Structure 1
């Protein structure tokens, strides 16, 4: 007979219950960690699918051309015994004055601009010695970026738009070019200047002195270096260290970027270049050809990259001390009235055959340019040059699979060949060969503008699928089953990706299709695997009819309809170039509309305090939106309807000092609303204030350096720049180290923004109160947003910093409105947050154009281009508002809520809002891609629609990276676990 167990004592019962509670707590925590990993994998899948989609679209849209590996030689039949008849020079000096616009080189009687009448040596000598000088308008092919221009100037081919994307990451040009031809024909090449040459021609340069080219705020280092090296080499020509001496100056270009063309510094740079050219002229002999040219021009703001006339019209000047050239009989083509508006122009690729033949070189194999008539001493020599160029162009066309069957051009060639063989009895060869060269070039342009519609379609379809999957996963699936469904989707996606990738690799290996390589087949297989990995578990549970019905129910409320209207209208503006260029004003209008509607809806709140605070935040939201929209740079297309206000001035530096104290104050005020200004909050906010002061000091140094030359204060003009640089870079590195490393490590290990307060009551008992309890998630998470904001502010120009400060205020104000209006789980909250990202992208001095990129901030941490510091600075400067928005989206859920007893459900609500933000950004990106395809033949495609789609793709990638690595991956899971450990039992 068993003995009955003794009843448990009270202490034993307590211990057993504690053990059971601990076990449940650990199980819940482990479950939370597991779900955090799954959510990261889910959003990584979305990121991978969208990146693959954008990559396919980019592959099909950014044009490419067939580059032949063939190289011309002097032993080729078309050049054998012919090139010697045209060689006129033994040596050459080539000076590229970056951004030398044509009207910089011709006189202006009114002299109303600083950039006129300062660089007139080419024009004066052209007028005085027409047989020794040729001055022409030099037309660049858009986009007008330096690397793209160098390729055209040396190969004679037409680099397509995709070359502009590698403007700061150039590889050696293996395509046949006259630099390589010089090297192959035992000509020594010496180079000084823009380090882009070193990147693309380094194997062929016998002597090289490269200088960093990206620091556009430095007007003098490169120019002074070019002068200091070239003049001694010209004085020592007998040493035979060079046959061709190349110098590439950057001061004029950098002056345009920094001040614009209408600034007295432009006059100083042009006069320096004029003196430099005169010094060269004094030192060359009659066997040396001098070539002075601009690689592109600049627009009225001093930037370039687009296709306006000011950006395309550079200058070309050829000079020799012997009679080597001639001018056309029709002198009206050299009319300089209206800044040379009707002056004779040549294509930049025309320099390639001209220079090659004058130097006794074979014309590079892929050349499509024609010889410049004035560069030859007679019509007979020009006719021979045209014949050799025609033979070279036709040889290239015969070797090109895409060009060889062009019957129109082939018939023109045969006709010209017969005329030449017959001795040109009617004297029509020169006229006919110009028609052939023009038609050949136009047919090539048309052919290379044939987009890869298959890749474009694949990209659009994949991105559209990602949008559908995001809507289903983030908004349609009930929150009570999203956790369980996520556990099914992740393994299904992994399995499907593996299966489809293997299948598509096998297809590629077996069939060897020409339209896609093995890599692209693998990516397509992975993308399709992701789609099926999501769809199979979802369609296993829900029918398409149910999903559609759920869609109608989910988005039927007033705020949801307003959010959908904002998204659809924002996506629709890309259907018009006029709306696209005014996107900055349109986004501010959307936000002001939201502010007005939220003020109206706040009046329906039950509590008086909510009504008052709702109207207060709404009105300030509208005012700050209108205020920040005043900060802008202008697109060229906006013309006189836009006045740029984004500038650097002394009052902005003073405003930064004020902001260094004001910004922490209003953050503290928002914390005080929920009594959260305790423990970590005072430490972080005070440290934030110190960092803001340090950033202001840094930009004060930038301002002093920026205005040193024209300062009215002697002590500023006498500043030691080396010491200033040392202090400035040291300060910037300290700030970056604090904001990006120390602060984030401290955040991950620091205390919460709460305080235990114990009070004595009237009954002599003691009462405990946890201050900050009602906002324990939001107050702690926002400290992380402050860390990244500090880093972004460092790399943002002063007026942009004021914009970012207003962005932070608007975000906090939005969270208060979200709480008052009760729209935490509504579509409107992430959409408005996304609109704030666009508003402040524009107000921080950006547009969706290549010239508006602030390349100069890449030198905030280093004096030279250094990976990853240069690239990180440019990314944070350009996409800073979007990064802040992607970090802050989780606060829609976390702001002003107490610790949750259901942390996984809380995490799921965060995921829903992250997905909603991604839905909005995906819809905008998809629209940009679709309309770029629709308008691919539009006159403004490379100026408006192509840059906008590239911007949309980059924003999509950046937001995906931030969501996966930080918002979902690093911060939210860690924070919820930390609070669950403290309050979860």
Structure 2
């Protein structure tokens, strides 16, 4: 052997090992670089979306501050004086017992012949006593919004609430304006209180601490705790030996209101509560003495569903009852009671009129900000009424004198009234004329104040609209994936520009605030404006520096021309039509039907597209047609579940009611939905590994527990159960429900999501042995390996996360709404199959239809763009009292549940039925495109809602229709951004793309 070649031969295996190690090292280095690049790209996307979300939030904040103004409260406090401006009147009563029966609608207190409703003819004592001269029953008209806190403000201060005050119903800050409780406190008179703790939040400093017994008020599923607590403390205090401890006693009952929220007025429990209140009033009348005034009143009514907060007649009409054992009231000759007309001939008074009335009856100064007028019937005769109207007019004019920008014409009317009064105050023939003149003056003054407090800050509104529009310009460009712009935004040069410009904007705005000291812009507003403009400039500056505006225009034009087809056109039409809905109050009212029309239109387009798509194999085309038909039919079925707005009557019949058949459907769906989901997984051969555990066991078990919860709830609330002697079972059933709700929410939101983030993919390695069929050359069996579910590894695994949240949302949704959410899950799966078969997953129409589905099931789960449709009672499914954040999470999941499911499912448009990609950044980019397209769609609808709300700010229906809809739009924009960024992208998409890339990446 040649010795010269010996070292090479000897070294050959070593060299091969070295080369192999080098190749492995290079491969590991490339893999590590790809992982780092994927990580940095992902972080870049999140940073961009976070900054865009901040701009949108700032825009919403500006618009809200300009649109929902709160009035300025005058700090003045009325006093009794000896000069001409003496607003006090000799007291007719030494003491007063004020009993508030929350949500006591007027027809609850009057007889209704022939009615078999539980809320009729079960509270007869007020009407019975009102037939005598020492009692009077009046229709008590509330001012919207009809929420308890706002009504208590009106009932104690005599002023009008503004719409934004409705948002403070859970934030009961002490009232900082003059009120009759403050006046009692200033006179060292003792106030005893028991009941709704809203009074405690508002008036705690005025109530005798030894006689203060507040009870939690917001647990609407608890019908008895507050009422029993009031009764427990009320009757001992009104006994003769304890009357010296108090001068005014206030009791606020909540049972009637809670029955309405929990069951609606047509429930057996309403009869029991009204009977109980009837007995309370009867026993109270027996206990009080001759020097005590009894006032029984409701703070608002309730609609046909038992809710309140809006301004329908049923919500505004409440009850006022005045009673004294020996003093006559000034009942008018036309006060007759026509039972058949449901209170048509009862006189109506405004709730704010109670303030001046109770002040004058107790000898107190009328609160300074009061706008109401003394109630005629509360005084003994026209002579006394003639005296008190003079004092009330003085008080109103003193308020007007201290309030700028009020009409001098009305002030002149006051001057003429005073002249007339000074001449004719002792002329009996002129008393009626003087009373009417004073009423006319008060009415015109009140109407002017209403107009004044409806003044909008157009500057703030404009800033809000402009900021949201600027965020839309970049989001729209960014969403539809102009590649060069998308690549630029991933660079830290771009992100650095955004951060730097936002900081610069904050510094400049702060400096301008310090130097210029603007009167109409506080520091918070200046910083918000500076930050938002800085972020927008930070976005556009690098793009304009790198690319010319003309180049961008050609990129946008070429992109839309290249991608434009009939499906894109349909998507643009849908977005445009949804935005134009807000131009009409009728369309806003019927938005649920408009959304249904768009969805059904898409369904029929899919059916037609499947029929004419000859490129599909026959079997696949038939399957595609079936999916399209399924989607269309289910959309129509879901739309039959409705909770009608007041404006939709009588053309809408509500079907969102709990009944025995909805409970049966819950149990059936706990087996059918997992079976249907399994069948979709089997279409892509993905029902392996984690899928059987999640779908076949986990989902089935949790849905069955949901069904058990609502079964117990239905049985517990059934008329038979309430009328029987099963009271011993009540604590057991309550504990059982709490345990089930907590268990399901913990498993679905915490345990299942943690397991999902650490669990396996829905794939299976199938190894088979194949023997050669050649008999002449037999060979050893050959093993072949197949990865089952490989073609849908992203989608099948990610959909398990959607199911986790869907189960939690189903728990906090009422039974018939759960059926709607079951339909939503099947609709999503059908859509994913259609997007794949029709090859429209990258089209504009895909995320738009997903967004429309969110709206459809928002309506079909018992919600509307109104305050009364908020299902507050759901907050107490897992807690017996308000516990942050658990009570709030329940309400948020219930209200926005359908949108959460849609936001979580958006990545499936890209991920469903695709094999592992060697370019995960491309997959991630397509997901972000769909996510930002959904955000863009919501920005368009929100911006349209804001613009038309501002345009119709003087419309008759602005506070009933346009304002609640703009508030829903603003909240949805916040919800979409937060959920899509934190849950959909950061938790869901990031995990699944990274895991698949780690296992299957090359």
Taking structure 2 as the reference length, the TM-score comes to 0.94
- Aligned match of 2:63: 57
- Aligned match of 1:485: 489
Change (3 A) 1:401 1:508: farther
Where do residues 653-692 of structure 1 align in structure 2 (5 Å cutoff)?
653-685=663-695, 686-692=697-703
Where do residues 812-831 of structure 1 align in structure 2 (5 Å cutoff)?
812-831=829-848
- Aligned match of 2:383: 380
What SS does structure 2 have at the residue aligned with 1:331?
A: coil
- Aligned match of 2:776: none
What SS does structure 1 have at the residue aligned with 2:819?
A: helix
Q: 1:950 aligns with which of 967, 971, 974?
A: 967
Distance 1:783 1:480 in 2: 34
Distance 1:110 1:397 in 2: 49
Where do residues 208-287 of structure 1 align in structure 2 (5 Å cutoff)?
208-238=212-242, 240-287=244-291
Q: 1:382 Cα deviation (Å)? A: 2.1
1:25 matched to 2:31? The reply is: yes
Where do residues 514-529 of structure 1 align in structure 2 (5 Å cutoff)?
514-529=519-534
- Aligned match of 1:761: 770
Deviations 1:333-366 (A, max 9, x none): 8666511224321111111111112112221121
Q: Does the Cα contact within 8 Å between 2:640 and 2:655 map onto a contact in 1?
A: yes
Distance 1:135 1:510 in 2: 61
More moved, 258-267 vs 179-188:
258-267
Where do residues 966-985 of structure 1 align in structure 2 (5 Å cutoff)?
966-985=983-1002
1:923 matched to 2:940? The reply is: yes
Q: Does the Cα contact within 8 Å between 2:485 and 2:543 map onto a contact in 1?
A: no
Change (3 A) 1:792 1:262: closer
Change (3 A) 1:77 1:720: farther
Change (3 A) 1:233 1:79: farther
Distance 1:113 1:734 in 2: 38
Deviations 1:352-411 (A, max 9, x none): 1111121122211211111112212233332332222222222222222344xx312322
Deviations 1:781-838 (A, max 9, x none): 1111111111111111111111111111111111111111111211110011111111
- Aligned match of 1:906: 923
Deviations 1:95-115 (A, max 9, x none): 111111222222333445443
Change (3 A) 1:259 1:729: closer
Q: Does the Cα contact within 8 Å between 1:333 and 1:343 map onto a contact in 2?
A: yes
Change (3 A) 1:25 1:912: same
Q: 1:610 Cα deviation (Å)? A: 2.5
Q: 2:868 aligns with which of 848, 851, 855?
A: 851
- Aligned match of 1:94: 98
What SS does structure 1 have at the residue aligned with 2:22?
A: helix
Gaps of 5+ in 2: 1-6, 773-780
What SS does structure 1 have at the residue aligned with 2:342?
A: helix
Distance 2:170 2:79 in 1: 31
Q: 1:22 Cα deviation (Å)? A: 0.7
- Aligned match of 1:721: 730
- Aligned match of 2:168: 166
Deviations 1:490-509 (A, max 9, x none): 22221111111221222222
- Aligned match of 1:456: 461
Distance 2:517 2:456 in 1: 22
Distance 1:649 1:491 in 2: 58
More moved, 577-586 vs 250-259:
250-259
What SS does structure 2 have at the residue aligned with 1:644?
A: coil
Deviations 1:731-788 (A, max 9, x none): 2111111111111111111111112222223353322221121111111111111111
Distance 2:786 2:84 in 1: 94
What SS does structure 2 have at the residue aligned with 1:192?
A: strand
More moved, 850-859 vs 224-233:
224-233
Taking structure 1 as the reference length, the TM-score comes to 0.95
Q: Does the Cα contact within 8 Å between 2:627 and 2:834 map onto a contact in 1?
A: yes
More moved, 819-828 vs 420-429:
420-429
Deviations 1:36-82 (A, max 9, x none): 211111111121111111111111112321112222233585665x6
Q: Does the Cα contact within 8 Å between 1:479 and 1:908 map onto a contact in 2?
A: no
Change (3 A) 1:334 1:461: farther
Q: 1:523 Cα deviation (Å)? A: 0.9
- Aligned match of 1:695: 706
Distance 1:750 1:333 in 2: 74
Change (3 A) 1:587 1:76: farther
1:556 matched to 2:561? The reply is: no
Change (3 A) 1:315 1:186: same
Distance 1:550 1:214 in 2: 56
Change (3 A) 1:158 1:712: closer
What SS does structure 2 have at the residue aligned with 1:396?
A: helix
What SS does structure 1 have at the residue aligned with 2:570?
A: helix
- Aligned match of 1:411: 412
Distance 2:563 2:309 in 1: 42
Q: 1:13 aligns with which of 12, 19, 33?
A: 19
- Aligned match of 2:3: none
- Aligned match of 1:584: 592
Change (3 A) 1:551 1:287: farther
Distance 2:846 2:59 in 1: 27
Distance 2:395 2:635 in 1: 60
Where do residues 127-206 of structure 1 align in structure 2 (5 Å cutoff)?
127-128=131-132, 130=133, 132-206=134-208
Q: 1:923 Cα deviation (Å)? A: 1.2
Distance 2:376 2:642 in 1: 46
Gaps of 5+ in 1: none
More moved, 736-745 vs 207-216:
207-216
- Aligned match of 1:45: 51
Q: 1:71 aligns with which of 54, 60, 77?
A: 77
Where do residues 864-883 of structure 1 align in structure 2 (5 Å cutoff)?
864-883=881-900
Deviations 1:664-690 (A, max 9, x none): 111122222222222222222221211
Change (3 A) 1:246 1:40: same
Distance 2:201 2:93 in 1: 28
- Aligned match of 2:750: 741
- Aligned match of 2:582: 574
Q: 1:555 Cα deviation (Å)? A: 6.0
Q: Does the Cα contact within 8 Å between 1:97 and 1:249 map onto a contact in 2?
A: yes
Deviations 1:670-726 (A, max 9, x none): 22222222222222222121111112111122112221x4349968x4551111111
What SS does structure 1 have at the residue aligned with 2:144?
A: coil
Q: 1:962 Cα deviation (Å)? A: 0.5
Q: Does the Cα contact within 8 Å between 2:48 and 2:489 map onto a contact in 1?
A: no
Q: Does the Cα contact within 8 Å between 1:187 and 1:243 map onto a contact in 2?
A: yes
Where do residues 279-358 of structure 1 align in structure 2 (5 Å cutoff)?
279-328=283-332, 330-331=333-334, 338-358=341-361
RMSD: 2.1
Distance 2:888 2:182 in 1: 31
- Aligned match of 2:854: 837
Deviations 1:9-38 (A, max 9, x none): 222111101111111111111121112211
Distance 1:550 1:771 in 2: 40
Where do residues 589-600 of structure 1 align in structure 2 (5 Å cutoff)?
589-600=597-608
Change (3 A) 1:76 1:837: farther
What SS does structure 1 have at the residue aligned with 2:649?
A: helix
Distance 2:563 2:583 in 1: 25
More moved, 788-797 vs 211-220:
211-220
Distance 1:282 1:433 in 2: 38
